Chains A and B, each alone.
Chain A
C-alpha cells in the first residue's frame, strides 16, 4: 500500500497513527518518543497481524520542522504490536522540542516535549501535572483535557492505574457501576493481546492523546495495569488456573506496558531487556524524581484483621534491591528535593473510629479493610510497616530534608506530614517529610460508592480520620480531578483541581485547595491560592 499524507495538527490522529504520539522520561539530552502505526486495516492492536515496517522520526526546535536536530529510523511489526519507541538523543537541556513520525509519506501528529535541565544547572522552578487512577469505564478523561489546556507544565507525573483490567459492568460509574464507556476487549484482560487492546483503547482517547502530545509523561504502574491488588506472586483479581498462571499474566501486562508506554523499562527503550520500572530522573540541582514500582516485588497483602505480620521484617512492599535504590535516592546530594513517585500512600493512616455503616464504602474506596474495620489499609505501606520504618529511620538518621512523596491510588486528595513517630507526633510534630496525594481522574471514591452528594457523608469520615491521624492536614474523599505540583528552592506546592461530573465529557475544572511545604520544614501548610 502507499500511505497518503494525512493530518499534521498537534493531537489530531490519522488512520495510520490512530493512537497518537507521546514522549516520556526526559533527560537533559534525550527523551523517549513513542507512537503506534497501523500499516494495514488488519493490523489492529493485539491482532498479531500486519507487515514489518520502518518508520522515520524527527525532532525539531520548531513546530514547522525547519530546524531538525535529531532524526532516525525505527523498525516495528506485529511482534511488538506495531508500536515504536525510540530514545531521541543529541538534544539540548531544558529545551522545548517538537517531534513527529512518518510512515512512508504519512506523517503523525506533531508532539511537543521538553528535555530536563542539565544536572549542574539550577532551575528556578519545575512544574508537573499530577494524575492517577484513570478508569475509562467510569467516565471521561476531562482531567487530561484541562491539563493539556495549560502551557506552564514541564512534564506529567502519572502515578499508576493508567488503565484498568476490568470487563464491562465492573467498577464503572456510581453505585450501579454504569459504563460511561465500555472497555475493549469486552472482558477482563488476561492475555497479551487483551492488554495490548486495552492500552490501544486508552491511547485512542482524545483527551489523553492531546496530553501525551503536549507534555512528556513520567509514569509508574500500580496494580490495575496488571490486576487489582497485585503482589509478587498473584493478585486479588486473579484466579490462578482459571485465568492461567499469574507469572504469565503479569509478564503479558509488563510486555504490553513496555510496548505502549513512553518509558525506559530496564533502563532502555528496547523491548525484552528487562522490565525494571523503578528509576531516577534528575532535574538540575532542584529535583530528582525517583519513580517506584510497589507491585512487582511486594509480598502478599495480609488478610487478617490485626496480624502481627504487619510489622514482619521479612515482609516487603519494595523488595530489597528497590529499597536500597530508594535509600540511595533519599540521601544522594544531586538535588535539593527528593521527589518519590509513590504508587500507594506511605503516611500511616488508622481507620479506627470510622462508623460501622461507612466502613464498607471506605473500604471500597481505599482498599482492603475487613468488615469490622481493621485500623489500617494493608495494601498501602501500612501493611508493610517494617519497610516504612526503614525509610523513615533512614530519613531521620541521615537528617534528610525536602523529601516529597507524591502519591496516587486511593481516589482522594491528601496532604500529610510524615511523622517520625506516629505515637509521639501529636506532641513533637516531628516529621521526616511530606506526602501529597492526587485524587483520581475518574475512578470511584467515597461519595460515588455511598451514592450521596459530595461534601455530605464524606465530611464526617474525613474529620474522624484527621482527628485520629493529626499528621493528616487535608483530606477530600469526594472529588475527581488532577493536581499541579510546583517546586522551587523555597517550597513545593500542590494545587488540587476538581472536575464536575465525570459522566459529562465537557465538564469543567475548578481549583479547590493548595498545600505547600517550605523547604527544610518537613511539614505541610495550606496556602491561599494556586500557582499562576
Chain B
C-alpha cells in the first residue's frame, strides 16, 4: 500500500533538484525516498535487474547458518576465497564496490582519516571524498536508474545523491547508529516495488553492529546468531518479493560482505598514541586515525624529519604487544591506499584492537580493519540467464570486483579512470 497523497517535494541535505516520495512500507511505517529529477524513460528492451546486498561484517562460514543465503550461494556462482581489501572497514570497501578501484584512486582509504587540510580526524564520508565515477553514475548516464538503501548514516552520506533513488536510514538506533535490517529491507522492497530501479545497492547492518558488541565472540554469541537468523529472514523476504513479482528471471543478486569480524578481550588493546608520544622526537608531531583493527598514523612534523620519524614510529609500533604489521604507506604500493591514508598503516593481531588516543577510546570488542578480517562471503545468485548456476570458483574475488561485475552485466564499460577489479560473472 502506498500513500501517494503525501508525496511532495522536500528540501533535504543533498537533495536539491530531487523529489521526495513517502511510501507506506509493509509494516505500515512511512518510508521516505528522494529521487533525482528527470528520471529517464525506461527503454523498451528486455530488463536486466541487479541487486547488491552487503551483509556488513559477515564471516564466510556464517553463510552456512543462513539458509536463504546459503541457497542463493549454492545455486549461483560462489567465490569462496573472496577477500576484503585494506583498510578492511565499511566505508572504503563499499566505495571500492561501487568504484571498482582501490583507495589510491578513489580517495577513500578508511572509515576514519586525519584530514590534513582541516587539521582534524573525521569520517571519510563526504560525497566529495569519492574522487572517481561510481557505477551508480555510470548506470544513470546509460539511461538506467539506480537506488541506494544503506543502513548506516556514513554510507548514506558518502554516496550522497549519486543514485537515482535514495533511502535515508530510519529509524536509526541510538547506540549502533544504523537502521535495523527489517527496516532496511522493508525500504529496499518498497523501493523496488515503487520505482523498480535497474540496480539497487543495499547494506544490511545488523550482523556487523551486533558483532561489534559481542564480547570475545562468546558472551553474546546468541545475539550474533540471532542477527544472522534475522538477516537471513530479510534476504529471504527480498528474494520472495523478486519471485512473486516476476522479477526473479531478470535479476542478478550479488551478496557479499564488506569485511569480516574479529573479537578482542578488554586487556588486549593497543594505544599507539602513548607509545609514540613517549618519544620526544615524535611527541606532538603525529596524528592517529583509529580504525578498530588498524591505526592510520600521520606525520605532522617537519617534512625533513619525516623519513627518520617514520622509521622510528614503525619500529616503536612493531615492538608494541598486539601489533601485527606496520607498513610505510608510500613504500608499500601493494596496499594501494593513497595519501589520505597517512604515512604509517599499523595492523593489530587477531584478538586485539586499537584504542586511540586512550585505552578507553575504543570499548568495542568486535573490530575489523586488520588482515584477520579479510575473508568475506561473495556470491552471485538470481534467475538471470547471465548468472551461472551451481558453480564455485577458486579465484580470489574482492570487493572492488562488484562494479566491473555490474558493468559486465549491463554492458557498461569502465570509466575513464578505469577499474582495478574484475567481473565475476
Interface residues of A (CB under 8 A from B): 122, 284-286, 333, 335-337, 393, 396-399, 401-402, 420, 424, 427-428, 430, 488-490, 518-523
With contacts A427-B218, A428-B217, A490-B80 taken as known, whether A521 is within 8 angstroms of B60 at the C-beta atoms is: yes
- Residue contact A397 to B372, C-beta cutoff 8 Å: yes
Task: Give A520's nearest chain B residue, CB to CB.
Answer: B60
Is A402 within 8 A of B81, CB to CB? yes
Given known A393-B350, A399-B260, A428-B217, contact A489–B64 (CB-CB < 8 A): no
Q: Which of A399, A420, A519 contacts B392 (CB 8 A)?
A: A519
B166 to chain A, nearest CB (A): 33
Q: Is the CB of A427 within 8 A of B392?
A: no
Q: How far is the CB of A406 from chain B (nearest CB, A)?
A: 18
**Contact between B216 and A401, CB atoms less than 8 A apart:** no
In order of increasing CB-CB distance, the 10 nearest A-B pairs are A520-B60, A519-B80, A489-B392, A336-B394, A521-B61, A399-B374, A396-B350, A285-B394, A427-B218, A490-B392
**B78 close to chain A: CB less than 8 A:** yes
Q: Which residues of A contact B260 (CB under 8 A)?
A: 399
Are B377 and A520 interface neighbours, CB within 8 A?
yes
- Once bound together, how far apart are the Cα atoms of A519 and B60, in whole Å? 8
Q: Which residue of A lies closest to B348 (CB)?
A: A397
B80, A336: Cβ atoms closer than 8 Å: yes
Q: Which residue of A lies closest to B392 (CB)?
A: A489
Docked pose: A490 CA to B373 CA in angstroms? 21
Give the residues in chain A near B324, CB-CB below 8 Å. Answer: 397
B382 at the interface (CB under 8 A from A): no
Do A489 and B393 touch (CB < 8 A)? yes
List 19 A–B pairs whose Cβ atoms lie within 8 Å, in order of A's numbering: A335-B394, A393-B350, A397-B324, A397-B349, A398-B374, A399-B83, A399-B371, A399-B372, A401-B80, A401-B375, A427-B218, A428-B216, A428-B221, A489-B78, A490-B78, A490-B80, A518-B64, A520-B60, A521-B61
- Asked if B8 is at the interface (CB within 8 A of a chain A CB), the reply is no
8 further interface pairs, Cβ-Cβ under 8 Å (given A397-B324, A397-B349, A402-B80): A393-B350, A397-B350, A401-B81, A424-B216, A489-B392, A519-B81, A520-B60, A521-B60
A523 near B371: Cβ-Cβ < 8 Å:
no
- Nearest opposing residue in chain A for B324, CB measure: A397
Q: Mark B354-380, 1 if CB is under 8 A from A, else 0.
A: 000000000000000011111101000
B4 within 8 A of A: no
Whether A122 contacts B395 by the Cβ 8 Å rule is yes
User: In the complex, what residue of chain B is closest to A521 when comparing beta carbons?
Assistant: B61
Q: By the criterion CB–CB under 8 Å, are A397 and B371 in contact?
A: yes
How close is B143's CB to chain A, nearest CB, in angstroms? 35
Q: Is the CB of B393 within 8 A of A398?
A: no
- B375 touches which of A393, A490, A520 (Cβ 8 Å): A520
Give the most central of B83, B350, B373: most A CB within 10 Å.
B350
Interchain CB contact under 8 A, A522 and B218: no
A-B contact count (CB 8 A): 82
Residues in chain B near residue A521, CB distance under 8 A: 60-61, 64
What residues of A have a CB within 8 angstroms of the CB of B372 in the complex? 396-399
Question: Which residue on chain B has the smallest CB distance to residue A337?
Answer: B394
Q: Which of A122, A336, A488, A523 contacts B61 (CB 8 A)?
A: A523
CA distance A329 to B271 in the complex (A): 32
Contacts of A285 in B (CB 8 A): 394-395
B81 contacts across to A, CB distance below 8 A: 336, 401-402, 489, 519-520
Nearest-CB distance from B301 to chain A (Å)?
A: 31
Closest to A336 in B: B394
Q: Kindly state the separation between the CA atoms of A336 and B78 in the bound complex, as whole angstroms.
A: 13
> Are A122 and B394 in contact, CB atoms less than 8 angstroms apart?
yes
Determine the distance from Cα of A214 to Cα of B292 in the docked complex, in whole angstroms.
54
Q: Which of A286, A401, A488 has the most CB of B within 10 A?
A: A401
Given the complex of chains A and B, what is the CA–CA distance between A396 and B122 in angstroms?
30
Q: Which of A122, A333, A518 contacts B393 (CB 8 A)?
A: A122
**In the complex, B416 has a CB within 8 A of chain A:** no
A398 partner residues in chain B, CB cutoff 8 A: 371-372, 374
Separation in Å of the B216 CB from the closest CB of chain A? 7
Assuming the contacts A336-B81, A399-B373, A490-B78, asked whether A424 and B395 have C-beta atoms less than 8 A apart, the reply is no
Q: How far is the CA of A420 from the CA of B60 in the complex (A)?
A: 17
- Write out the residue numbers on chain A whose beta carbons fall within 8 Å of the beta carbon of B370: 397
Contacts of A284 in B (CB 8 A): 394
Contact with A along B59-75 (1 / 0, CB 8 A): 01101100000000000
Which B residues are in CB contact (< 8 Å) with A336? Answer: 80-81, 394, 396
Q: Which residues of A contact B218 (CB under 8 A)?
A: 424, 427-428
Question: How far, in whole Å, are A427 and B222 apart by their CA atoms in the complex?
Answer: 11
Whether A518 pairs with B78 at a CB distance below 8 angstroms is: no
- Shortest CB-to-CB span from A119 to chain B, Å, is 12
CB contact list, B21-42 vs A, under 8 A: none
* CB of A277 to closest CB in B, whole Å: 27
Could you tell me the distance in whole angstroms from the C-beta of A356 to the nearest C-beta in chain B?
35
Min distance, Cβ B399 to any Cβ of chain A, angstroms:
14
Chain A nearest CB, measured from B65 CB (Å): 10
Beta-carbon nearest neighbor of B259 in chain A: A399
Beta-carbon contact of A333 and B217 below 8 Å: no
Residue in B61, B217, B377 whose Cβ sees the most chain A Cβ within 10 Å:
B61
Please, what's the 1-or-0 string for B74-111, where 1 marks a CB less than 8 Å from any CB in chain A? 00001011010000000000000000000000000000
Chain B positions within 8 Å of A393 at CB level: 349-350
Bound together, the chains give a CA A518 to CA B81 distance in angstroms of 12
Nearest neighbor of A285 in chain B, beta-carbon distance:
B394
Residue from A286, A335, A396, A489 having most chain B Cβ neighbours under 10 A: A489
CB contacts (< 8 Å) of B395 on chain A: these are 122, 285
Q: How far is the CB of A126 from chain B (nearest CB, A)?
A: 11
Q: Which residue of B lies closest to A489 (CB)?
A: B392
Chain B residue with minimal CB distance to A287?
B394
Asked if residues B375 and A399 are in contact (CB atoms below 8 Å), the reply is yes
Question: Which chain B residue has the least Cβ–Cβ distance from A431?
Answer: B61
Q: In the complex, what residue of chain B is closest to A426 when comparing beta carbons?
A: B218
Does the CB pair A518–B350 fall under 8 Å? Answer: no
A518 to B, closest residue via Cβ: B64
CB proximity of B165 to chain A, nearest CB, Å: 33
Given contacts A393-B349, A424-B218, are A401 and B393 in contact (CB under 8 A)?
no
Cα distance A521–B59 in the bound complex, in angstroms = 9
State in angstroms the CA–CA spacing of A519 and B394 once bound together.
10
Q: How far is the CA of A399 from the CA of B376 in the complex (A)?
A: 10
Q: Which residues of B contact A337 (CB under 8 A)?
A: 394
Within 8 A of A (CB), among B45-64: 60-61, 63-64
Residue of B nearest to A487 (CB): B394
> In angstroms, how far is the closest chain A Cβ from the Cβ of B88?
9
Specify which chain B residues have a CB less than 8 angstroms from the CB of A397 in the assembled complex.
Answer: 324, 349-350, 370-372
Tell me how far the C-beta of B154 lies from the nearest C-beta in chain A, rounded to whole angstroms.
24
- A188 shortest CB reach to chain B, Å: 46
Q: What's the least CB distance linking B87 to chain A, in Å?
A: 14
Instruction: Find out whether the CB atom of A401 lies under 8 angstroms from the CB atom of B217.
Output: no
Give which listed residue, B64, B216, B396, contacts A333 with CB less than 8 A: B396
Residue of chain A at shortest CB distance from B79:
A489
B78 closest partner in A (C-beta): A490
**In chain B between 384 and 425, which residues have their CB closer than 8 angstroms to a CB of chain A?**
392-396
Q: Give the CA-CA distance A406 to B221 in the complex, in Å.
A: 31
Closest Cβ of chain B to A414, distance in Å, is 21
Q: Which of A397, A518, A519 has the most CB of B within 10 A?
A: A397
CB contacts (< 8 Å) of A420 on chain B: these are 350
CB distance from A177 to the nearest CB of B (A): 46
Nearest Cβ on chain B to A337's Cβ, whole angstroms: 8
Question: Which residues on B sit within 8 Å (CB–CB) of A488?
Answer: 392
- The residues of B that contact A401 with a CB separation of less than 8 Å are 60, 80-81, 375
Bound complex: CA A427 to CA B78 (Å) = 29
